[in-house]
């Protein structure tokens, strides 16, 4: 067990709850610097026990409020998908005889 002491939070749980939130906004919510948040996400610094708990509670409260107001919560995309063109296909050519 990597963090047997209960003083430290689970880094996987923390990264799960802040996956779709920008680091700047996460730092503002937790009242910590952006560098601290990056260190927590990179694993160079141990996460205090309360950080994953606070992020989990804030997410749950957000979803509960949205459900109470009969609104569908907007989920932010976690990643961006980039589609590269397939170079094996030849571009479509238009024949002059068709006109």
pLDDT digits (tens, 9 = 90+) for 54-73: 999 998 898 888 888 888 76
36, pLDDT greater than 90: yes
Mean pLDDT of 29-52: 93
- Whole-prediction pTM value? 0.62
3, pLDDT greater than 60: no
Please write down the long-range contacts of 27-32, taking CB distance under 8 Å and 24 or more positions apart.
Answer: 29/55, 29/58, 30/54, 30/55
H/E element holding 55?
helix 50-68
**Torsion over CA: 19, 12, 61, 72 (sign):** positive
Mean pLDDT of 28-42: 94
Mean pLDDT of 71-88: 63
């Amino acid at each position: 067990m990597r963090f047997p002491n209960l003083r430290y939070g689970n880094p996987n749980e923390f990264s799960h709850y802040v996956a779709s939130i920008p680091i700047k906004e996460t730092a503002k919510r937790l009242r910590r610097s952006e560098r601290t948040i990056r260190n927590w996400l990179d694993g160079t610094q141990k996460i205090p026990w309360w950080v994953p708990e606070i992020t989990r509670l804030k997410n749950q409260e957000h979803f509960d409020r949205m459900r109470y107001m009969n609104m569908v919560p907007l989920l932010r995309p976690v990643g961006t998908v980039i589609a590269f063109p397939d170079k094996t296909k030849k571009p479509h050519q238009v024949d002059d005889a068709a006109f």
